Amino acid sequence: MRVLVVEDEARLARALQRGLSAEGYAVDLAADGPSGLEAARHGEYDAVVLDIMLPGLSGYRVVRALRDEGHWVPVLMLSAKDGEYDQADGLDAGADDYLTKPFSFVVLLAKLRALLRRGAPERPAILAAGSLSLDPATRRVTREETEITLTAREFALLEYLMRHADQVVTKIELLDHVWDAAADLDPNVVEVYVGYLRRKIDVPFDRRCLQTVRGAGYRLESRG
């Protein structure tokens, strides 16, 4: 899943990028309000982590502008202000949730997962495709009651495919949402990781749910 972090405190922004990347998220950074708004407008993000006190344009104005323009990406607002009216202002401006600094990274992750679930009805707490299941909260993947061990990147790839089950997903789309956009990667890295996934989720169970659609991309069958 791709997340935009708009935060002007460089140390905190880098820490969030490292932590979220380790959890399998693809993370982009913006250091001020105008660049954050521009990125959120034109990037296909699954969620935005947005500070309130930003140079150029406050977080309140960023989220309000997005909502006024019809952009409904889930927004988690961060702020050192912990007053009830400050929180109400953020939510009323269009944020989906609010977290005060200093905060627990574990709580931030849980709030992000909750936002992703609420963002669309097709995002349940536990994803399933036949006998294959993936729990984003516990990061467990099982098939036929057998637990499957995946790397963080494999997990992120499988999660994205399962959230878009029965849809054809291109290599470029997977690179955008599962890998770091700043990295100069050969699109064939997707093919390599799809192969890794198949050897773990399909081959041992004599299944073929992860399919290659020639000339188009990949599709994960919802029936498993």
- pLDDT value of residue 125: 62
Do 6 and 108 fall within a single domain?
yes
Do 147 and 178 fall within a single domain?
yes
Do 7 and 115 fall within a single domain?
yes
Do 99 and 132 fall within a single domain?
no
Among 119, 145, 172, residue at a domain's last position: 119
Do 17 and 94 fall within a single domain?
yes
- CATH number of the domain to which 51 belongs: 3.40.50.2300
- In the chain, pLDDT over 90 holds for what percent of residues? 67
- pLDDT value of residue 182: 60
Domain count, the chain: 2
Could you report the per-residue pLDDT of 88-97, keeping only the tens digit for each? 888 888 888 9
Do 144 and 161 fall within a single domain?
yes
- SS3 letters across the chain: CEEEEECCCHHHHHHHHHHHHHCCCEEEEECCHHHHHHHHHHCCCCEEEEECCCCCCCHHHHHHHHHHCCCCCCEEEEECCCCHHHHHHHHHHCCCEEEECCCCHHHHHHHHHHHHHHHCCCCCCCEEECCEEEECCCCEEEECCEEECCCHHHHHHHHHHHHCCCCCECHHHHHHHHCCCCCCCCCHHHHHHHHHHHHHHCHHHCCCCEEEECCCEEEECCCC
Do 112 and 29 fall within a single domain?
yes
Among 76, 98, 119, residue at a domain's last position: 119
Arithmetic mean of pLDDT, 167-187: 83
- pLDDT value of residue 121: 40
Give the whole-angstrom CA distance, residue 142 versus residue 128.
10
Task: Say which residue the tokens 């993370």 belong to.
Answer: 27
- pLDDT value of residue 200: 97
Do 109 and 133 fall within a single domain?
no
Could you report the per-residue pLDDT of 36-95, keeping only the tens digit for each? 999 999 988 999 999 999 999 999 999 989 988 888 889 999 988 777 777 788 888 888
- pLDDT value of residue 123: 42
Give the whole-angstrom CA distance, residue 76 versus residue 19.
16
Do 41 and 102 fall within a single domain?
yes
Do 19 and 97 fall within a single domain?
yes
Do 59 and 140 fall within a single domain?
no
Boundaries of domain holding 70 = 2-119
Pairing of β 2-6 and β 217-220:
unpaired
Pairing of β 132-135 and β 127-129:
antiparallel
Which has the minimum average pLDDT: 79-83, 106-110, 189-193, 208-212?
79-83
Among 86, 119, 152, residue at a domain's last position: 119
How many other C-beta atoms lie within 10 A of the C-beta of residue 11? 8
Do 92 and 138 fall within a single domain?
no
